[in-house]
Amino acid sequence: MESLLLKQLEETVTFIQNIYPQQPEAGIILGSGLGNLVNEINIEKEISYSDIPHFPVSTVEGHSGKLLMGTLSGKRVAVMAGRFHYYEGYTPQQVSYPVRVMKQLGVHTLLVSNAAGGVNPGFNVGDLMIIKDHISFFTVNPLIGKNEATLGARFPDMSEPYSKALITKAKAIGERLGFNLKEGVYTGVTGPTFETHAEYRLVKAVGGDAVGMSTVQEVITAVHAGLKVFAVSVITDIGIREEENKITHEEVLAAAKEAEPKLTQLFKEMVAVI
């Protein structure tokens, strides 16, 4: 008998394909305050999450909650303007459900952005950090539970969650555009609290360069599904500093806005070369 998950995925995908039958190549998930890429997309269909069967509904400020289907840099894309976070109360499976939908729609590559706190002392607010690896021990793994063998392996390999080939392409693009791209390890946490001083120090001690409340569950699900992944953090605050260490959501959104044009250009050029 078909599982509930497979049945739901089929209903979601059929609904979207009835509205937009063309097959997207790339899936894009945009982080907090990083939605401007949508202005570069030739949007052919816009679907509210609330209309899509089995899709959770986004609640956090700065997330608009729409699936956009169209073209960017000459490629068909499916773009999530607004994502789901574990701290909103969704299960890890709900958080990463849209990634499974993208895979079923035909996407082969996933591009992800997020706002993150810097713990590498060499980082500055507004830096873009290419995610070369992640640490997910501080979050709940979205693959816990019965494994659907048709969706992916029980024990997925995680030796290269972020495509090295895509990172090489991004660095070349960054160099050409004169961007000073950083590279590092993203550490996923549940939020919604920002970290204490001791926690920022812990993240640094375990090898993290940045810390944030999204991305790892989506990326784990993408790797499970066999998607290639490219992800970038916008460093919106320096958690590791001892002084002036009050962080607000407004500050995070403002810093994300500042750095957004660079991220938009990078993603636009990446889509052209995937």
According to CB under 6 A, which residues from 49 to 68 bind ligand HPA?
none
Among 151, 170, 212, 260, binds ligand HPA (CB under 6 A): 212
213 part of the interface to ligand HPA, by CB under 6 A = yes
Nearer to ligand HPA, 24 or 239 (CB): 239
Nearer to ligand HPA, 35 or 70 (CB): 35
- Which window, 37-45, 129-137, 154-162, 234-242, contacts ligand HPA (CB under 6 A)? 234-242
Residue closer to ligand HPA by CB (options 127, 237) is 237
Contact segment (CB under 6 A) with ligand HPA among 90-98, 169-177, 209-217, 263-271 equals 209-217
Run of H or E residues at 104: helix 92-105
User: How many Cβ atoms from other residues are within 10 Å of residue 125's Cβ?
Assistant: 17
Span from 50-58, 156-164, 188-196, 220-228 in contact with ligand HPA (CB under 6 A): 188-196
| 8 Å CB contact between 160 and 176 | no
Give whichever of 55 and 186 is closer to ligand HPA, judged by the CB atom. 186
Q: What is the DSSP letter of 164?
A: H
Residue among 97 and 200 whose Cβ is closer to ligand HPA: 200
Please enumerate in sequence order all residues whose Cβ is within 8 A of that of 94, keeping only pairs 6 or more positions apart, or say none.
Answer: 56, 84
- Is 31 a binding residue for ligand HPA by CB under 6 A? The answer is no
Q: Residue 219's CB: how many other CB atoms inside 10 A? A: 27
What is the smallest separation between the CB atom of 215 and ligand HPA, expressed in angstroms?
10
Binding residues for ligand HPA restricted to 115-134, rule: CB under 6 A: 115-117
C-alpha span between 12 and 103 (Å, rounded): 12
Closer residue to ligand HPA, CB minimum distance, 182 or 228: 182
236 binds ligand HPA (CB under 6 A): yes
Whether residue 225 contacts residue 103, with contact meaning beta carbons closer than 8 Å, is answered with yes
28 touching ligand HPA, by CB under 6 A: no
Distance from C-alpha of 110 to C-alpha of 87, rounded to nearest angstrom: 22
Residues 15, 52: Cα–Cα separation, whole Å: 7
| Count of residues of this chain found to bind ligand HPA when the rule CB under 6 A is applied | 15
C-beta atoms surrounding 132 within 10 Å: 16
Q: Is 188 an interacting residue with respect to ligand HPA (CB under 6 A)? A: no
Q: Which residue is nearest to ligand HPA (CB)?
A: 117
Distance CA 99, CA 104 (A): 9
Report the residue number, 11 or 258, with the smaller CB distance to ligand HPA.
Answer: 258
Interface with ligand HPA, residue 95, by CB under 6 A: no
HSE, CB side, 13 Å, CA atoms: give it for residue 222: 27
Exposure string of 41-68, with b = 16+ CB inside 10 Å and e = fewer, is bebeebbebeebebbbebebebbebbbb
Point out which residues bind ligand HPA (CB under 6 A): 115-117, 189, 191, 194-195, 211-213, 236-237, 239, 247, 252
